[in-house]
Structure 1
Amino acid sequence: MTLLADPASGLLDRLHGALGAEAVLADEKSRRYYANDIFWQPGIEPAAILLPRTREEAAAGIRLTTEAGLSVVPRGGGMSYTKGYLPDRAGAVVIDARRLNRIVEVNAADLYITVETGCTWEQVAAALEGTGLRTAYWGPLSGHVATVGGALSQNSAFFGSAAHGTVAEAVLGVTVVLADGSLVTTGSGGRIGTKPFTREGGPDLTGLFLGDNGALGFKVAATLRLMRRPEAVGFVSFGFRSIRDMAAAQVEMAPLKVVAEGFGIDRTKVEHSASVNKLMDGVRTLGQVARAGGGLVAGLKDAVQVAAAGTAFLKEHAFTLHLVVEARNAAELDTSMAAVREIGRRHGSEIENTVPKVMRSKPFGPPRGMLGRDGERWVPIHAVFPLSAALEVCDANDAFYATRRDFMARHGIVYSVMTMTVGTEFFLEPAFYWQDEITDLHARTLGEDVVRPWRGRPANETTRAAVAELRRATQELYAGLGGVSWQAARDYPFREVLQPPTLALLESVKRALDPRGLMNPGALGLAATPTLTA
């Protein structure tokens, strides 16, 4: 019997009364499902899962849970692979944000949008359709499933990030439930009688809750800055002989601030990534590319080119870089494209631009890339570095994985790598593919039809442990090179890489906001004394 289900505690009845019985899950199947993330399983099963529909219900659920001495674990779209939403102890209660999915306000005049944090990035984009506006950063590749709250909690980059940075730079304010159930709003929205139009005007309390992995509070709403949607968009791709050549081109392009988003991948990624192979499925993308074209004739012409190109041309190069360039008008786009082409051609060679075209034609689809082309399990590791360190980091990364080549071959681990620039940062993300069981999380996210061919695969705990060993060694390598990782949760080194006074300040903030250590304990490496009561 769990602590939550103990009749003497009465907590289950109180939660039912506050949220409704249908918003409180405590059955074995649900508890088992919520004990897994994309990589780590099986974890500790929560005692229950709450699915609040309003910020008031979320606040009541958290207050009742912590009053009973149980810990609270926030969860968004479920795309994490760093133990961010996995309990660190028995008796925890997971708060699933996905029913908090209303668009609260679109203010075109003052250029902001307020949304509940269970909204997916696809929902945010749909709410802005026809306004001529968007957020500067407008979602990850997994934006069909990934939520605004998850991105704010772990930090996130992709669409719009090369020019505008991470999601944290687009946030004006957040509304957060603290461990005692109180609701706090940051930014100007936290003032009396003031719109949530700016983040400034005193200490930046908003920043406290960005990248916190839910260790400081449960975000229920966020206000994001809007910008005019660029009128002109161009697409360009390049091939390179080495990751060093590709990184040199990316670093040189970054200060221009004309690339909206882009990514560099190796040949292995082309061969094994389900996302790349699905993007380049010419037959299925014909209609999408046609609709995304400047006109019907131009769109159909692009679609025919996509179908004809296939993926073969990508495999002719050790590394390929795929970029979307944005501008205010056609003349500015011509200038920007010329500058990008000059840099790319100096370090590599220009190739078909079908990958970025198709990527933009339908940015948010089911996150097929969470499994490999043939159903292999997948998990990445990453860090960001100063632009000036990019070439040194690429060399160190190549040398590191050269020494692990036999280890990976022995365990059947396939290694690939992706690079991006995020504002003025160089982003490096190795990923691993291996044979392993398909979990219910994969099946629910992608659909049983997609995973059916591999559903019967047995668990491969030995290789999964080898992948975990590789990831940890990579984390330590990157930290030693001066890198910074997001999504710290309970996976990446964090407290051990902070200077002692900085760690002491963070721990003081944690104690002030969560004195009993019940808000996602263990996240960010912040230790908490167990306070469970029988």
Structure 2
Amino acid sequence: MSISEHIRADDLMALETLRQALGDGMVRHDVETRTYYANDVFWQPGIAPLAVVLPGTAAETALAVRTATDCGLSVVPRGGGMSYTKGYIPDRTDSVIIDTRKLNAVIEVNAADRYVTVEAGATWNEVNAALEGTGLRTGYWGPLSGINATVGGALSQNSAFFGSALNGTVADSVLGVTVVLADGRIVTTGSGNRKGARPFTRYGGPDLTGMFLGDNGAFGIKVSATLSLWPRPEEVEFLSFGFAKFSDMALVQARMAETRLVSEGFGIDRTKVEHSASVNKLSDGLQALGNVATSAKSLLSGVRQAVNVATSGTAFLKDHAFTLHIVTEARSPAALSDNVARLRAIARNTGVELPNSVPKVMRSKPFGPVRGMLGRNGERWVPIHAVFPLGEAVRIAEANQAFFAGEAGFLERHGIVYSVMTMTVGNEFFIEPAFYWMDEITPLHARSVGEATVAPWMDRPANAATRQAVAELRRRTQEFYASMGGISWQVAGDYPFRETMDPDSYAMLEAVKSALDPRRLMNPGMLGLDTVPRR
């Protein structure tokens, strides 16, 4: 049913019940709002929800969920809107989206006990700002989209980037979560649910926290989370290297990961350099130079670093088929010097050291505008990913090259540009191809990237045919990675999941779903879970 079609009488009654329970200020159901919430970064047009609810407290969230499900409406949680996996797109018209962004308070920073508790709608930029001056940081401390991406969204999709090479995904930093279940009950996991205990540990019985991580809201809506804190390293250095072969770069990444000296790092191909707006704008303008200068320990060293960035820019990246960018941290200058020497020794056999402007500028302003949601010239962009055992890095790099060589004709025929990025996350090798193509700019892209930025491209027509070709290519890539033993974190309603799991294990997952959400009203369709009749 399109946004303009008639809403059923019973849904109108349910909407009125919501408005009476929550108040008109919390419930939005105008056409523009419902249309906006029917799309994610890639999938469009989706099914518009009946209404959008913006609660400001956990109690309001619980009331909204209980009221909606009592009326037989499904409930879909949404955070910062950075998903491209159908994670917050309703699968039916009689749905209510719970936008959690007003749940953005930092509840407690406990430096002595080394934890921070935040509401799920807080962005990673807000979390890190709250920790300024404490000398502490969460292990994983945010994605590149952290100015918009929320803690709850990261927990739902298991995010990785800043700090992840050393500390793993966001799931590895979580001590406990507070969740609203389908019937409106509020439950807490970890030691925060014990009488008289602080939320300082995840364990003490079965690990119930893990059940709500990576579930994309299939089991409940996260309203807050407690994360571990660790001392922020005092010394930091940046390294970049160029490679002729993808497999050479992958091997270096794996060897570096074994040392546990890398805080975060990523490898990209030349196509990513040419098409990524984020990479191309890293060293543009005085603002980036100012960030580099102010992030240095002294004004003099900051000025020198800024001059180096301005001189090197990013044009040199195009001279190499693949480039690797590394951040390493330490407690002392001597330890940092040893880190750098060891990492250089790993890369020197097959790589060429390059100016380090890319990781340096990225770290100087980690949560900048999400310009990378579109290509350099406003092309639409969507990634896909999988993770593999660290020892498989070279095999996967070679297989990936062969796979996309086989897809070259399809890419050319449909005007799709392919690029690739890789990371190591703990003991895992992460690979993320991305696709660029010409298509319309949606309101989600305009709001996220900025109206002024997208203004030159707003008259581009929709290109549904190529978008469908991208969807087909993504599915083939997902299936290829699964056939190679790969695992995808951000399953949501997009990646193969049910068909990749052995039946008894999946049956256990279904049993958990049935126990927590017997009418299957909590974000239906996530994780491949079947729906059942609702009324």
Shift of 1:23: 1.1
Q: Name 1:318's counterpart in structure 2.
A: 321
C-alpha offsets along residues 50-106 of structure 1, whole Å, 9 cap, x if unaligned? 000000000000001001111001111000001000011111111111000000000
Shift of 1:406: 1.2
The question of 1:52 aligning with 2:55 is answered: yes
5+ residue gaps, structure 1, are none
Indicate if the aligned counterparts of 1:244 and 1:395 stay in contact, CA closer than 8 A: yes
Change (3 A) 1:4 1:83: farther
Q: Residues 232-381 of structure 1 correspond to what in structure 2 (within 5 A)?
A: 232-381=235-384
Q: SS of the residue aligned with 1:289?
A: helix
Q: SS of the residue aligned with 1:224?
A: strand
In 2, Cα distance between the equivalents of 1:243 and 1:282? 31
Q: Name 2:216's counterpart in structure 1.
A: 213
Return 355-364 or 341-350, whichever deviates more.
341-350
- Which of the numbers 392, 396, 405 marks the counterpart of 2:399? 396
Q: SS of the residue aligned with 1:86?
A: coil
Q: Name 1:42's counterpart in structure 2.
A: 45
Q: Name 2:186's counterpart in structure 1.
A: 183
Q: Name 1:124's counterpart in structure 2.
A: 127
Indicate if the aligned counterparts of 2:280 and 2:376 stay in contact, CA closer than 8 A: yes
The question of 1:151 aligning with 2:146 is answered: no
For 1:403, give the aligned amino acid. Answer: G
TM-score, normalised on structure 2? Answer: 0.98
Q: Name 2:518's counterpart in structure 1.
A: 515
In 2, Cα distance between the equivalents of 1:229 and 1:6? 51
Q: Name 1:426's counterpart in structure 2.
A: 429
For 2:446, give the aligned amino acid. Answer: A
Indicate if the aligned counterparts of 1:4 and 1:91 stay in contact, CA closer than 8 A: no
Identical positions, percent? 65
Indicate if the aligned counterparts of 1:283 and 1:307 stay in contact, CA closer than 8 A: no
Shift of 1:258: 1.0
Provide the alpha-carbon RMSD of the alignment: 1.0
Q: SS of the residue aligned with 2:187?
A: strand
Shift of 1:5: 7.3
TM-score, normalised on structure 1? Answer: 0.98
For 1:372, give the aligned amino acid. Answer: G
Indicate if the aligned counterparts of 1:438 and 1:455 stay in contact, CA closer than 8 A: yes
Indicate if the aligned counterparts of 1:4 and 1:48 stay in contact, CA closer than 8 A: no
Q: Residues 102-121 of structure 1 correspond to what in structure 2 (within 5 A)?
A: 102-121=105-124
Q: SS of the residue aligned with 1:219?
A: strand
In 2, Cα distance between the equivalents of 1:321 and 1:530? 51
Q: SS of the residue aligned with 1:320?
A: strand
Indicate if the aligned counterparts of 2:314 and 2:358 stay in contact, CA closer than 8 A: no
In 2, Cα distance between the equivalents of 1:335 and 1:304? 26
C-alpha offsets along residues 480-522 of structure 1, whole Å, 9 cap, x if unaligned? 0000001111110001111111101000000000000000010
Change (3 A) 1:451 1:530: farther
Q: Name 2:454's counterpart in structure 1.
A: 451
Indicate if the aligned counterparts of 1:4 and 1:12 stay in contact, CA closer than 8 A: no
- Which of the numbers 7, 24, 27 marks the counterpart of 1:2? 7
Shift of 1:286: 1.3
Indicate if the aligned counterparts of 1:282 and 1:306 stay in contact, CA closer than 8 A: no
Shift of 1:6: 4.7
> After TM superposition, which residue ranges in structure 1, 4 or more long, deviate above 6 angstroms?
none
In 1, Cα distance between the equivalents of 2:243 and 2:297? 30
Shift of 1:280: 2.2
Indicate if the aligned counterparts of 1:215 and 1:524 stay in contact, CA closer than 8 A: yes
Shift of 1:16: 2.5
For 2:457, give the aligned amino acid. Answer: W
Q: Name 2:463's counterpart in structure 1.
A: 460
In 2, Cα distance between the equivalents of 1:284 and 1:391? 38
C-alpha offsets along residues 386-439 of structure 1, whole Å, 9 cap, x if unaligned? 011111111111111111111111111111000000000000000000000000
C-alpha offsets along residues 107-159 of structure 1, whole Å, 9 cap, x if unaligned? 00000000000000000000000110010100000000000000000000000
Shift of 1:347: 2.3
Indicate if the aligned counterparts of 2:283 and 2:289 stay in contact, CA closer than 8 A: no
For 1:89, give the aligned amino acid. Answer: R
Q: Name 1:480's counterpart in structure 2.
A: 483
In 1, Cα distance between the equivalents of 2:355 and 2:533? 57
In 2, Cα distance between the equivalents of 1:309 and 1:199? 46
Q: Name 1:16's counterpart in structure 2.
A: 19
C-alpha offsets along residues 23-69 of structure 1, whole Å, 9 cap, x if unaligned? 10111111111000000000111000000000000000000100111
For 2:43, give the aligned amino acid. Answer: W
- Which of the numbers 51, 64, 73 marks the counterpart of 1:70? 73
Indicate if the aligned counterparts of 1:137 and 1:158 stay in contact, CA closer than 8 A: yes
Q: SS of the residue aligned with 1:262?
A: strand
Q: Name 2:3's counterpart in structure 1.
A: none
Change (3 A) 1:3 1:222: farther
Q: Name 1:406's counterpart in structure 2.
A: 409
Indicate if the aligned counterparts of 2:52 and 2:96 stay in contact, CA closer than 8 A: yes
- Which of the numbers 33, 36, 40 marks the counterpart of 2:36? 33
In 2, Cα distance between the equivalents of 1:462 and 1:146? 29
In 1, Cα distance between the equivalents of 2:399 and 2:531? 36
Shift of 1:528: 1.0
Indicate if the aligned counterparts of 2:11 and 2:94 stay in contact, CA closer than 8 A: no
For 1:198, give the aligned amino acid. Answer: T
For 2:240, give the aligned amino acid. Answer: S
Q: Name 2:176's counterpart in structure 1.
A: 173
Shift of 1:446: 1.4
In 2, Cα distance between the equivalents of 1:33 and 1:341? 48
- Which of the numbers 379, 382, 385 marks the counterpart of 2:385? 382
Q: SS of the residue aligned with 2:25?
A: helix
Q: SS of the residue aligned with 1:140?
A: coil
5+ residue gaps, structure 2, are 1-5
